[in-house]
Structure 1
Amino acid sequence: MDSDNTAYYTPFYVQKLISVDTIVTVHYFEYRNTFSFAGERHDFWEFVCVDKGEIEIYDGKTWSLLRRGQIRFHKPNEFHALKANGIDSPNVIVVSFICASPAIDFFRDKTLSYTQKEQSLLAEIIAHARSLFATPLDDPYVPKMEARRTAPPWEAQLVVCNLELLLLSLYRRYTEQKPAKQTHVSSYARSSYEDEIVNASLEYFNKNMFRMLRSDEVCSIVHVSYDLLKSIFFKRFGCGPMKYFARMRIDEIKTLIRNSVMNVSELASYFGYSSIHYFSRQFKNETGMSPTEYATSIKAKTEKESD
């Protein structure tokens, strides 16, 4: 046999429908209900989506309401502004980027809804951005995002990859005329079954936000084993169900702190914590600061915004 029998193949060259050239900014904001951003324009794309609550956005012509689960795209050189509605303290994701792909024009002047899977992609963008950037993601006035010196070398590409996946997913959902023929019933059924479990779990979490829950209690409500529930949550959210519930509670507590509704002791009691020390410890584990430190940081940001 000839050991030098070289095989020749013809490569398949992939033409990328949407290619993100550069990330400009990635932000995750936890606004007070009085927040207002006067507006700006720039020569690159930006999208704004609401992770919690709702905000009012301006596109240079009219003000409109953007609710949780919606994403609004601002085209290059479009003047845009936003403000809280005076009632809700919203959590908002803002990502700006440069993209020269012709298909990106689909998003011009669009307000779209995002799915649970697309929400997971948004979460991945934020998670990798936090690992990549030394610049705080909650400062709306930074002109340049600075990378950490210790950032893993893959983080920047993962931010871009997840952003491209998000854009492709939205583009596909809103442009395809019918489901792909290759879709298997078993795959669809499994996804639908998992959606039901996740939705039932989240509904139970929301109804019991102000008390502690046990994992066996949640499993009995959604009628699955803990191993299965944990597997589904890790697939969707990157953490187990009880960790996700703890984060939901902390997010709600942060909202109340931003609105100056209760003091730390009252919050610990209201949310069913056994002690203020346990409450403060869990809050710090999730946010990197104590409830008091978080309240102080919010006050400082508010004073900076009003200067």
Structure 2
Amino acid sequence: MVWQAYPIKEQIQITDMYSLFEAHYEKGYAFPGESHNFWECLYVMDGEVCVSGNERVYNLSQGAIVFHKPLELHKFIVNGREGAGLLIFSFSAQGPLTSYLAEKVFVLSAAQQGIIASMLSFLHEKAQEWDIQALSGKSAHFFLEPFHTLPTYSQMLATFLQQLMLSLAETEAVSSVSSAPDAIIFSKAISYLNSNVQAQPQVPEIARYCNVSQSSIKRIFDKYAGMGIHKYLLKLKIKAAAELLQSGESVSLVAERLGFNNQGYFSRAFKRETGFAPSVFMAKRH
């Protein structure tokens, strides 16, 4: 008998984990804005949060999950009256499914929430077994410690997460974009910055474009981005630089196109944001 081989076309593979924790945050807690060169996912176990990702602002409640792609600027604010319980994990991944998950919000079904519940049950069991304690003074549990000493642990964890992500391939994303006036202004301002990332737009110019005062636009950026406009623009430039370098453009040309007068300053800024020098980042694309 001749057996037919059916190749497995792997859709997603988690290659590295950077963080995984569950925590309860009180109402009004604001996580500072950040970006990094790996994925981050936020799942709302209970309560309500306002999440920003690049120019989008979402209002999320229990059962919602959002994916932030590498170098995406993101922040969250807790809105729920009783605070919010969150599961947050960050990772590197490869495979065609990653492009589908990017910048998406999903509301998990009972079965998908069951995958997370099973994963947390496994993690808590191992946490007790390995005596992993919550960080002193914080209501949070961190679960990556056994990676160094228990090889099967990391693969089990990756399997749970990959199962969840594969199930999302057949789930329609939802629109949870906030309609709050400040959120709309923030989105408009970020769109303007993205359209002018090769220039150096100043605060008065952005405020005029959004038809608000300079103090208002600064307040809105602090609220949704957790940083000033100039710092945010620099991060957008680094994100654009990464895309240009991946397309094969030279370091000097990228620096010039994005308005960096000094290539040395560009290289230092790029490494600070991505963890890699531009030349090393280019080599990694191969």
TM-score by length of 1: 0.48
The structure whose residues are more often strand, as a share, is 2
- Structure 1 residues 61 and 139: CA distance shift in structure 2, 3 A: farther
CA distance in 1, matches of 2:36, 2:17: 14
Q: 2:198 matched to which residue of 1?
A: none
**What residue number does 1:15 align with?**
9
Post-superposition offset of 1:149: 7.2
User: Could you say what secondary structure the match of 2:145 adopts?
Assistant: coil
SS at match of 2:156: helix
Equivalence for 1:213: none
Match of 1:165 among 144, 163, 170: 163
- CA–CA distance in structure 2, aligned partners of residues 57 and 65 of structure 1: 6
Q: Secondary structure at the residue paired with 1:160?
A: helix
User: What residue in structure 2 maps to residue 156 of structure 1?
Assistant: 154
Deviation, structure 1 residue 162: 0.9
What runs of 5+ residues in structure 1 fail to find an aligned partner? Answer: 1-6, 176-307
Preserved CA contact (<8 Å) 1:28 1:126:
no
Quick one: distance in 2 between partners of 1:149 and 1:12? Answer: 35
Q: How does 1:179-258 map to 2 (within 5 A)?
A: none
Cα distance in 1 for partners of 2:158, 2:144 equals 14
Amino acid across the alignment from 2:162: E
Compared with structure 1, are the counterparts of its residues 109 and 85 closer, same or farther at alpha carbon in structure 2 (3 Å cutoff)?
same
Looking at both structures, which has the greater relative contact order when contacts are Cα pairs under 8 Å and sequence separation is at least 6? 2
Letter in 1 for 2:171: R
Q: Deviations over 1:197-228 (max 9, x none)?
A: xxxxxxxxxxxxxxxxxxxxxxxxxxxxxxxx
In 1, distance between residues paired with 2:3 and 2:79? 60
Structure 1 partner of 2:77: 83
Q: Which residue of 1 aligns with 2:110?
A: 116
Shift in Å, 1:84: 0.9
> Which residue of structure 2 aligns with residue 60 of structure 1?
54
97, 106, 129: which one aligns with 2:91: 97
Checking the alignment, whether the CA contact within 8 Å between 2:27 and 2:80 is kept in structure 1 is yes
Give the AA of the match of 2:118: E
Give the CA deviation at 1:8: 6.7
For residue 70 of structure 2, give the secondary structure of its aligned residue in structure 1. coil
Q: Are the aligned partners of 2:18 and 2:91 in contact in 1 as well (CA < 8 Å)?
A: yes
Whether the 8 Å CA contact 1:124–1:159 is kept in 2: the answer is: no
Q: Which amino acid in the other structure matches residue 51 of structure 1?
A: M
The change in CA–CA distance for 1:62 and 1:10 in structure 2 (over 3 A counts) is closer
Q: Which amino acid aligns with 1:117?
A: A
CA distance in 1, matches of 2:63, 2:23: 15
3-state secondary structure, aligned to 2:12: coil
Scaled by the length of structure 2, the TM-score of the pair is 0.51
Q: Work out whether residues 26 and 96 of structure 1, in 8 Å CA contact, stay in contact via their aligned partners in 2.
A: yes
Q: Share of identical aligned residues, percent?
A: 23
- Change in Cα spacing, 1:101 to 1:148, as seen in structure 2 (3 Å) is closer
CA RMSD of aligned residues (A): 3.0
Q: Does the aligned pair in 2 maintain the 1:71–1:114 contact within 8 Å?
A: yes
Render the CA deviation track for 1:169-212: whole Å, top value 9, x for unaligned. Answer: 0112339xxxxxxxxxxxxxxxxxxxxxxxxxxxxxxxxxxxxx
Unaligned runs of 5+ in 2: 174-286
Change (3 A) 1:148 1:49: closer
Give the whole-Å Cα distance in 1 for the aligned partners of 2:30 and 2:64.
19
Change (3 A) 1:139 1:8: farther
- For 2:119 and 2:35, locate their aligned partners in 1 and report how far apart those are by CA, in whole Å: 23
Secondary structure at the counterpart of residue 51 of structure 1: strand
Give the whole-Å Cα distance in 1 for the aligned partners of 2:86 and 2:10.
29
Letter of the 1:93 counterpart? L
Match of 1:172, SS state, is: coil
Please identify runs of 4+ aligned residues in structure 1 that moved more than 6 A. 137-140
CA shift digits 1:69-117 (9 cap, x unpaired)? 1111101100111111162311111111111112210011111110011
